[in-house]
């Protein structure tokens, strides 16, 4: 995600630190060509015929149509996050990485230059979603 922009009024680069929440697990089906086509058909149906019981039944039929791939194909789990601390002109990048060799453990690590330590994923919102400056 682009988190830097150029302020043409002040003629400087600025860091965008707005709060931006993201999920740990994400179903990508709604964003695929298949999913978008399904939602467009539903929207067109609503626009053309309203939203009576018959239309609702047709919508439910569309939503029950079999997927092109197995359900798991569309499911993604977050495995890493890159964080920038500092300003648009200077700063430091570091990462939070999920243990992919033992995913069932749910273990995460902070990787910050030579420092590698355990990281509690409950701290992802406070460490990674942005918002108020803390420096």
Q: So what's the pLDDT on residue 131?
A: 85
65 HSE (CA, 13 A, CB side): 13
Tell me the two tokens of residue 94. 């570091």
What is the band of 135 on the pLDDT scale with cuts at 50, 70, 90?
Answer: very low
Q: CA-CA distance, 52 to 12, in Å (whole number)?
A: 54
Q: Is the dihedral of CA 54, 56, 60, 62 positive or negative?
A: positive
Give me the mean pLDDT over the 17-30 stretch.
94
- Average pLDDT of the chain is 92
**1-10 CB burial, b ≥16 within 10 A, e <16:** eeeeeeeeee
Q: Could you tell me the residue ranges of all domains in the chain?
A: 4-24+78-128, 26-74
Q: So what's the pLDDT on residue 133?
A: 55
């Amino acid at each position: 995600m682009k988190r830097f922009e150029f302020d043409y009024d002040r003629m400087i680069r600025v860091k965008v630190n707005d709060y931006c929440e993201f999920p740990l697990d994400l179903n990508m089906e709604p964003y695929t060509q298949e999913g978008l086509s399904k939602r467009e058909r539903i929207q067109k149906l609503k626009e053309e015929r309203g939203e009576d019981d018959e239309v609702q039944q047709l919508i439910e039929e569309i939503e029950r149509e079999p997927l092109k791939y197995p359900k798991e194909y569309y499911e993604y789990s977050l495995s890493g996050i890159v964080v920038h601390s500092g300003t648009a002109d200077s700063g430091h990048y570091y990462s939070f990485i999920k243990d992919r060799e033992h995913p069932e453990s749910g273990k995460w690590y902070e990787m910050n230059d030579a420092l590698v330590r355990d990281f509690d994923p409950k701290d992802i919102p406070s460490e990674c979603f942005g918002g108020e400056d803390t420096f």
